[in-house]
Structure 1
Amino acid sequence: MISLLPIFLSLGLLMYLAYRGHSVILLAPLLAMLAVLLSGEASTMLGVYTQVFMKGLGGYIISFFPLFLLGAIFGKLMDDSGSALSISEALVNKLGKKQAVLSIVMACAILTYGGVSLFVVGFAIYPIAATLFRQLDIPKRLIPGAIALGALTFTMTALPGTPAIQNAIPMPFFRTDSFAAPGLGIIGGLIMLIGGMIWLNYRTRKAINAGEGYGQHHIDNLAVVDHSSKPSLLVSLLPIILVISINFICTKWLLPSMDNSYLASEEFGAIPLNKVLGIWAIVIALVVSCSAMILLNWKRWKNLKESLSDGALGSLLPIFNTASEVGYGSVIATLTGFIIVKEFLLGLSPENPLISEAVFVNVMAGITGSASGGLSIALNTMGDKYLQLASQFGINPELMHRVASIASGGLDALPHNGAVITLLVICQLTHKESYKDIFVVAVAVPILALIAVITLGTLIGSF
């Protein structure tokens, strides 16, 4: 058990220092080397850094940089064109003020399911939510919970076809696509949406009955939005529709029907199509959708070059943060103590690897405070083993994919999560004021959905 101490100490420091706001890009290699040092392998530190840490970091960037880049550009274009504002305002008007919380949740859901990042969604939706909640005298402290439900749960991990990175990471490991186990994904997503809304509506009624209003918030600093050049709802929705539809067409028909025999050559890594199919499909969908958005809003761009540049630059910090965590996980996986962890997790349910996978991914996501980081670490270290177990026990790899994806969206949203901290900063609220609601809708309810999906998948199989 002594061999576990370097791992736990290193992970504890990573979690604490990340929560305190220190850069993961700096923390990950330093704490990985600390774990190597404390494990009595100081002589190998330089080799571990260049051949293990950097290989893990670089491999992640090679695999997923196009998704981060195109996703960030797509989100920036949605924001700068006014499309995000148009969609959210249309939903608020359509659902009515009595469904204010649902309006905000669905606006976030539509944007994130279409490929817009949480950070863009947070900045775009918060002013609308704050204005609406102030008008209806609903406590402002409930806004982060509503945004988190729409952006950090069912559209991130459960719904089939979502271009979220958490849905893309399992694809090369299980040779699946983004539409893996669609029936179970929809069921899991509905549990998250309905469960989260039950909680938020309960909290809203309770606050109103207690006479609690919006509250005194003198630093809202809501930006003045120019509504004159806002695109129509149809124009705003079309790029999102294109992302989903083109992704589906490319995944199910277009790419498989092409001659991909060249992939078998050494020049292309002798890789099977199904290991890259899902990522290719999302890349094509985002490229077409970004192009369509540029053309549809041609006269609305104040500075298209700046929007594209800002979007591209905005992709760098998120991918390097996550890739650094993957490099850290690659190092931890080489330590003697990690063998004990692997054996323990594999022994949790010897006849049902879905449980082991769900726990491992959840724990790693919780420790790193990152759904994508934890998922990457878990699958980089155990992905091949889980695929082998799936074959051994007759489990459809699509089910392994969906469970891994949903599991990444549970304990990731603990207080030190970067998205949680950013969301609270955007809303100008504290953990004390709003984290309880975030925890319920983004941690507790998704874990219940995960349990339901595992249960159904075990009893019925993937569908």
Structure 2
Amino acid sequence: MGLLGILLGLALLMWLAYRGVSVLLVSPIAALVAAAFSGEPLLAHWTQTFMSGAARFVAQWFPMFMLGGLFGKLMGDSGSISSIAQYLTEKLGTKRTVLAVVIASAIVTYGGVSVFVAFFVLVPMAHEMFRAANIPRRLLPATVGLGAFTFTMSVMPGTPSVNNAIPMPYFGTTTFAAPGLSIIASAIIFIFGMWWLGRAEAAARKAGESYAGDADIAPVVTEKVREQAAPAGDFDPAELPHGKRAESGPSFAMAALPLIVVIVTNFLMSLFIFPRLDFSFLSSEQWGGTTIGAVSGVWSVVVALAAANVTVLLINLRRLPSLRESLDAGANSAALPMLMIASLVGFGAVVAALPAFATVRDAVFSIGGGPLVSLAVSMNVLAGLTGTASGGMAIVLNAFGDDFLQLAAKHGLDPELMHRVTTMSAGTLDALPHNGTVLLLLQISGLTHRESYLDMVMTVIVSCIIALVAVLILGSIVGSF
């Protein structure tokens, strides 16, 4: 009965979340259903187990969510994202429209801008570019998706996304984990995705297919899609229209400077500054009895985002038409997605505390192929079922993080390899049709699953699976590099 309760709770979570019911409400209900089937005390699990797990997530990740939300909003309202996209369009020309959109999406998201903010700014511009190049607009979501939430979300070394940060405290790593493997995997995703898009564009032209639509699409986010999207990202879509956007953006160099600040600062803090400082005081109970290895990755990203926020403000202080509203919207944007992911973590904490969870644990570690394969499969399954890479990742690592770290040591596997397999695995099947990021991108683009999802499958799922397989093979043969 206990195992049936866990499966029923997970099914309930998936079904209600897909229908747009708030995860804040769904997660505790699903957790209590699982606990009830196990005959466990419900109130104790809600207030002690569920809330403790959720609170730990909020305490650990609130600074990063808030600073990331601020950064994305300031970059959008200052016109910096538009300036980057316009510059690339002018340089690459109409004949390379697809490449321009992919690169623009990749640059801004690799620099720390939320994918949701990128969608809101880039999608309307991409529509204009696709119409000018007479490329079928059904290919637009697959193009933006390839640049915005594949290799820059969970693969490229140093990307400051939440998905690349969550494994750090568990494995004592940084966002630059396994840089060689990360670059190879990113190249595979990019090359395969561009090949598919080029093939699809050529086939469409041969068939006489044109843009066929209205490019003047104003991005709108419904409340249902907001509830579906928020757990899959780090920015509340409802805050996207708040604040005012600058009439004209900075130059390309000034627009890109904050993004460079994020990457460079993160790199210096992660690999040079924090490792050389004395943080022995962290071992005392006052600071949670931790080590610098467990927190340096998070601290590095936080410092990098803080520095980038200061940079974008200094560059655009007179350009931002409503600074207070932009700051308020950026800060508020962090609350809902953070609490929703924390609620998923709370659900996972309750499930992990149930007696029947031992069966789940045995099933995970009985998967053939060693720790890397077990890790990859469990991440794919949970991310796919929950429709969120970060939520699925947090659930698995909270339940099995210590076990996977011990298995890595037993098999002589570098924790950096475990980190990269974790992020890549969570970023594959998370993009199934019910994924909030997919739903939001399609709605903002004014398109449907029937029109655009097949091409998205190829650019944001199949490409990532191919890259993951390559990393698993290389990592098993030569280890991390």
Aligned pair 1:346/2:365, yes or no?
yes
Alignment correspondent of 2:191: 194
Shift of 1:439: 1.6
CA deviation vs aligned residue, 1:36-79 (integer Å, no higher than 9, x gap): 112333xx110001111111111111111111110110000000
Aligned in 2, Cα 1:139/1:227: closer, same or farther, shift over 3 Å? farther
Aligned in 2, Cα 1:442/1:311: closer, same or farther, shift over 3 Å? same
Alignment correspondent of 2:228: none
Shift of 1:227: 8.2
| Structure 1 CA distance for aligned equivalents of residues 469 and 377 of structure 2 | 11
Query: Aligned with 1:333: secondary structure?
Result: helix
Alignment correspondent of 2:232: none
**440, 448, 459: which one pairs with 2:458?**
440
Aligned pair 1:105/2:124, yes or no?
no
Q: For the Cα contact (< 8 Å) 2:97–2:130, is it kept in 1?
A: yes
Alignment of 1:259-274 (within 5 A): 259-274=278-293
TM-score w.r.t. the length of structure 1 is: 0.96
Shift of 1:4: 2.5
Alignment correspondent of 2:11: 12
| Structure 1 CA distance for aligned equivalents of residues 366 and 399 of structure 2 | 16
Task: Supply the AA of the counterpart residue of 2:20.
Answer: G
- List runs of 5+ in structure 2 lacking aligned partners: 221-243
| Structure 2 CA distance for aligned equivalents of residues 338 and 209 of structure 1 | 54
Alignment correspondent of 1:183: 180
Aligned pair 1:301/2:317, yes or no?
no
CA deviation vs aligned residue, 1:227-257 (integer Å, no higher than 9, x gap): 8632000100000000000000011111222
**333, 340, 346: which one pairs with 2:352?**
333
TM-score w.r.t. the length of structure 2 is: 0.93
| Structure 1 CA distance for aligned equivalents of residues 340 and 169 of structure 2 | 21
Greater shift in the superposed pair: 376-385 or 189-198: 189-198
| Structure 1 CA distance for aligned equivalents of residues 136 and 324 of structure 2 | 39
Task: Supply the AA of the counterpart residue of 2:475.
Answer: G
Shift of 1:206: 1.1
Aligned pair 1:400/2:418, yes or no?
yes
| Structure 1 CA distance for aligned equivalents of residues 456 and 105 of structure 2 | 15
Alignment correspondent of 1:30: 29
Greater shift in the superposed pair: 11-20 or 145-154: 11-20
Aligned pair 1:359/2:377, yes or no?
yes
Alignment correspondent of 1:229: 248
- List runs of 5+ in structure 1 lacking aligned partners: none
Task: Supply the AA of the counterpart residue of 1:207.
Answer: A
**46, 67, 70: which one pairs with 1:70?**
67
Q: For the Cα contact (< 8 Å) 2:54–2:345, is it kept in 1?
A: yes
Alignment of 1:47-446 (within 5 A): 47-217=44-214, 220-221=217-218, 229-349=248-368, 352-446=370-464
Shift of 1:219: 6.7
Q: For the Cα contact (< 8 Å) 2:246–2:320, is it kept in 1?
A: no
Task: Supply the AA of the counterpart residue of 1:76.
Answer: K
- The root-mean-square deviation of aligned C-alpha atoms, in Å, is 1.6
| Structure 1 CA distance for aligned equivalents of residues 245 and 395 of structure 2 | 43
Identity of aligned residues (%): 47
| Structure 2 CA distance for aligned equivalents of residues 412 and 312 of structure 1 | 26
Shift of 1:218: 7.7
Aligned in 2, Cα 1:103/1:86: closer, same or farther, shift over 3 Å? same
| Structure 2 CA distance for aligned equivalents of residues 389 and 240 of structure 1 | 37
CA deviation vs aligned residue, 1:398-449 (integer Å, no higher than 9, x gap): 0000100111101101111111111111111111111112222111211111
CA deviation vs aligned residue, 1:319-373 (integer Å, no higher than 9, x gap): 11111111111111122332222211211126x2000001001111011100000
CA deviation vs aligned residue, 1:210-239 (integer Å, no higher than 9, x gap): 11111234872479x988632000100000
Q: For the Cα contact (< 8 Å) 2:266–2:304, is it kept in 1?
A: yes
Task: Supply the AA of the counterpart residue of 1:136.
Answer: A
| Structure 1 CA distance for aligned equivalents of residues 36 and 460 of structure 2 | 36
